[in-house]
Structure 1
Amino acid sequence: MNFFPVLPPERKSAADYYREVLSLSVLAEELGFEHVQTIEHYGSGYGGYCPDPVTLLTAVAGVTRRIRIATGAVVPAFTHPLKLAGKLAMLDNLSGGRLDVGFGRAFLPDEFDWFEVPMSESRARFDEGLEACRRLWTEENVEWKGQFHTFGPITLLPRPVQQPCIPVFVASATSPESCAAAGRKGYHLQVVPSVTSRGQLQEMLAGYREAWADAGHTGRHRIQIKYTCYVDEDRERALTSARLFEHSYVDLMAQAVRSWSSTRSDQYPGYEKFIDKARAYRFDDALAANKVLAGTPQDVAAQLDDIRRAFGGDLTVSLQFNPGWMPLEQSTGAMRLFADQVLPALGGGLGTRQLLTA
């Protein structure tokens, strides 16, 4: 389950939300899905229930045994690399080596202000933080002299269970350059199709695959692509729910990005247009473009088949079944319906449970 808590706090308490996350994570493992994932955001209804994905995923690890757990993503700009690498290594141990780590740059001006981190340092802090974590996980007696941090020599404890390194993903929203850079370095990739056009995302993925191949990396790259999924045997019921929660998501995102109206950064070209994009949002257009999955099991299977043809069969499709303040029973029913009817309709490729996340 791709857990992204975008909801007004008055609609559902944090304690209730966390209990539901654990319940749905256990169900995801029961149904054979590949991983549970969550994000890092602060101070608003746009993800603010998850300021520390490591804490939430540690609880998930405690109630599951096999399913992988993933950050999607942690923000190295907001945490000292010794702290971040140590917390993640602990989680890898507590989960028995089931951790995947997605790193992201963050994009909300308010969050950078709250942490007193200049947005102009976003890319440099991301690169330094990720590389410092990688070295701390893979080397001993690490001595680090970077632009923002100096430490060592130190051998990080605990050592990660997964050797030679915890799998690393890079989260990219709109940048083909970021995707290509991740491919060159041998990192895996996380993308969100809701904020890009189909053509732009195809360009991003092509650049990533080409860079991975040109760099001569061994092993298989992994690409996670994230969708919210509303599946019901009654199409109108599914679409009514989807329309409600997708518009709520966009409204809360618009509030979270409003500071972009007075912010400009060469680190985030074009992000000042987020507010206009939110205001122009139309659910029917998003559904037609397969930016959200909604409908009967047959409808959703057809959407996923189109996604496979458009973006390739080497994808892990990461699905959110509990958007907004959706009741737990509705999320549970959708997950079971997906496993029982959507997967068989898909057949191979994206239709295998090992390539789907819940």
Structure 2
Amino acid sequence: MASLLARQVTHGPHGTLGPEGKGEPCEGSPSTKREEHRVKVGIFYELQLPRPWLEHSEYELLQNALAQIELADQLGFDYAWCVEHHFLEEYSHCSAPEVFLGAASQRTRRIRLGHGIIQLPTNHPLRVAERVATLDLLTGGRVELGLGEGQGPVELHPFGARVREKREVWEEAVQALVPAFTRTSWEWQGTHFKFPARNVLPKPFQKPHPPLWVACSNIQTIANAGRWGLGALGFQFVSAEAARAWVHRYYHELTRNQAKLADYPANPNIAMVSGFMCAETDEEALEKAAGWTFFVFCLSHYGRHGIPNPGEGNMWEAYQAWRHTDKAQETLRSGLIGSPDTIRQRLREFEATGVDQVILLNQAGRTTHEDICRSLELFAREVMPEFHAREAEHERWKADVLAGRIALDVPDTDGYKLYAHQNEDIVRLTPEELKAKMAAKEEGKRGTLLGFPSPTDKA
């Protein structure tokens, strides 16, 4: 294990105190200065760990991910996002993002560290406020705060949260959370949360608090993000054509129908996640990006089947029958996967839609640490400079949209409701549809107990 190095305290990019990084995580990694204007590029972590698991597998997973974020900071990437998930074996071992990001904060100097997202139905608003403020102080004001509802029964039920209530719990949690960042005395008496007046400490470094985002998985949640004045974290893997429709819908709601849930500054931003692997040739990139198809397979599997036998399944083994199908190959072709020239062309298509940030999902399946580092380095050297140079132009366009000087058309969005265009089976319901479905399911259970057939039973 590398010896601990003394850390020099210096003034960071926000005029704050921050530690120096502790050496280069990958041999030959350059340290590049940042420009003032740039297209935003992020990296994304589920902390995937396919079976079989060895004694130190999770230790190595976390250490490698921290080294990759340190490298991304040196290379000039703008954001590092990590999720909060629980009990999703192999798909995500990131159940304590505040701890992981706290560690990352002490190995980076410039990159912004994002919660993508914190699950509000399973976290008390006051604890969220305390943890986020502490992390913001540790980073010198580099935190982005994404808020979400949670995946489903597998994650929510062990904490006493219910799927049918998660949207209303989420909305109330936002209302209870945000004032805690600024008020010296704050109390809340709601339906799902109640607490007496307290001064929540510490207060965040950024004033009034870190920028707020919401997880978005379909066109309706994109519209909601705009209406609420929140940044949209698009955790759906859509085409550039679909991204354009979603961007237009977002800004339409933001500029014409804004209705915030609480008193917070609007955060007009859209970020989209994409599978990613940059290599010298398209063929090499496709070969190294197989982890991306594992990611999509797991997403579909947990959405359909949950976890019938905790601790006994083998997602990697189940994936083998799917990985060579036409659908898996289509998945590979859909992401930002290829040579620098190929990725540059695809990224230009996303840039033209008005997306503010593209988040690259590199750590997936069994993609090696070495391949992830090389991919980040090649992208930073060959692709990123072009898009950073055009950020000022994008910001002018966005200012014109927000001021009403540019009117965006709102295209027919019925064709863009899928969660993932690679897999037509992964569909996110609206809150109303979900509530109706869960009510029908509960009614079916009651009827079965009384001897009546379930309403979903086939004749």
TM tier relative to shorter chain: 0.7 to 0.9
- Partner-residue secondary structure (3-state), 2:144: strand
- Partner-residue secondary structure (3-state), 2:106: helix
Aligned equivalents of 1:209, 1:219: Cα separation in 2: 12
Aligned equivalents of 1:200, 1:137: Cα separation in 2: 36
Aligned equivalents of 2:361, 2:227: Cα separation in 1: 30
In structure 2, the partner of 1:147 is 191
Equivalent residue for 2:231, pick from 173, 181, 188? 188
Instruction: Work out whether 1:127 is the aligned partner of 2:158.
Output: no
Aligned equivalents of 1:10, 1:61: Cα separation in 2: 30
Aligned equivalents of 1:200, 1:279: Cα separation in 2: 26
Instruction: Work out whether 1:284 is the aligned partner of 2:329.
Output: yes
Measured after TM superposition, the shift of residue 297 of structure 1 is 0.6
In structure 1, the partner of 2:445 is none
Q: Compute the TM-score of the two structures, normalised by the length of structure 1.
A: 0.84
Deviations 1:13-69 (A, max 9, x none): 111011111111111111111111100111123543100111100000011122110
Measured after TM superposition, the shift of residue 210 of structure 1 is 1.4
Report if aligned partners of 2:229, 2:267 keep a CA contact under 8 Å in 1: no
Distance change (3 Å), C-alpha of 1:245 and 1:261: closer
Deviations 1:209-265 (A, max 9, x none): 1122225798761221111211110221111222x2123223322432233699xxx
Moved more, 104-113 or 73-82: 104-113
Aligned equivalents of 1:240, 1:350: Cα separation in 2: 32
- How high is the sequence identity, in percent, across the aligned residues? 25
Instruction: Work out whether 1:6 is the aligned partner of 2:48.
Output: yes
Q: Kindly indicate whether structure 1 or structure 2 has the higher relative contact order, using CA contacts under 8 Å at least 6 residues apart.
A: 1
Deviations 1:129-157 (A, max 9, x none): 12211111122211101111110211110
- Partner-residue secondary structure (3-state), 1:151: strand
Distance change (3 Å), C-alpha of 1:324 and 1:279: closer
In structure 2, the partner of 1:249 is 295
Aligned equivalents of 2:106, 2:156: Cα separation in 1: 32
Report if aligned partners of 2:276, 2:360 keep a CA contact under 8 Å in 1: yes
Moved more, 144-153 or 129-138: 129-138
Aligned equivalents of 2:64, 2:139: Cα separation in 1: 20
Measured after TM superposition, the shift of residue 198 of structure 1 is 5.6
Moved more, 178-187 or 217-226: 217-226
Deviations 1:262-307 (A, max 9, x none): 9xxxxxxxxxxxxxx999871333355x4x1111110111111112
- Partner-residue secondary structure (3-state), 2:383: helix
In structure 2, the partner of 1:269 is none
Report if aligned partners of 1:109, 1:259 keep a CA contact under 8 Å in 2: no
Amino acid at match of 2:342: D
Report if aligned partners of 1:68, 1:100 keep a CA contact under 8 Å in 2: yes
Question: When the two structures are aligned, how many residues end up with a matched partner?
Answer: 332
Moved more, 2-11 or 230-239: 2-11
In structure 2, the partner of 1:238 is 285
Aligned equivalents of 2:170, 2:362: Cα separation in 1: 30
Structure 2 matches for 1:9-48, cutoff 5 A? 9-10=51-52, 13-48=57-92
Instruction: Work out whether 1:330 is the aligned partner of 2:385.
Output: no
Report if aligned partners of 2:286, 2:332 keep a CA contact under 8 Å in 1: no
Amino acid at match of 1:284: Q
Amino acid at match of 1:294: I
Moved more, 95-104 or 197-206: 197-206
Equivalent residue for 1:228, pick from 275, 290, 302? 275
Aligned equivalents of 1:97, 1:345: Cα separation in 2: 27
- Partner-residue secondary structure (3-state), 1:321: strand
Aligned equivalents of 2:100, 2:379: Cα separation in 1: 25
Q: Compute the TM-score of the two structures, normalised by the length of structure 2.
A: 0.66
Amino acid at match of 1:192: F
Measured after TM superposition, the shift of residue 7 of structure 1 is 2.9
Aligned equivalents of 2:94, 2:349: Cα separation in 1: 32
In structure 2, the partner of 1:160 is 204
When the two chains are superposed, the root-mean-square deviation of aligned CA atoms in Å is: 2.9
Q: Highest Rg: 1 or 2?
A: 2
Instruction: Work out whether 1:342 is the aligned partner of 2:383.
Output: yes
Aligned equivalents of 2:179, 2:203: Cα separation in 1: 12
Amino acid at match of 1:336: E
In structure 1, the partner of 2:433 is none
Distance change (3 Å), C-alpha of 1:334 and 1:261: closer
In structure 2, the partner of 1:136 is 180
Report if aligned partners of 1:7, 1:46 keep a CA contact under 8 Å in 2: yes
Report if aligned partners of 1:343, 1:351 keep a CA contact under 8 Å in 2: no
Measured after TM superposition, the shift of residue 96 of structure 1 is 1.1
Measured after TM superposition, the shift of residue 202 of structure 1 is 3.7
Report if aligned partners of 1:223, 1:316 keep a CA contact under 8 Å in 2: yes
- Partner-residue secondary structure (3-state), 1:63: coil
Instruction: Work out whether 1:174 is the aligned partner of 2:174.
Output: no
In structure 1, the partner of 2:36 is none
In structure 1, the partner of 2:345 is 302
Report if aligned partners of 1:238, 1:294 keep a CA contact under 8 Å in 2: yes
Moved more, 101-110 or 66-75: 101-110
In structure 2, the partner of 1:94 is 138
Measured after TM superposition, the shift of residue 326 of structure 1 is 1.7
Aligned equivalents of 2:347, 2:69: Cα separation in 1: 22
Moved more, 327-336 or 104-113: 104-113
Amino acid at match of 2:119: V
Aligned equivalents of 2:213, 2:229: Cα separation in 1: 9
- Partner-residue secondary structure (3-state), 2:299: helix
Report if aligned partners of 1:2, 1:319 keep a CA contact under 8 Å in 2: yes
Aligned equivalents of 2:306, 2:180: Cα separation in 1: 35
In structure 2, the partner of 1:271 is none
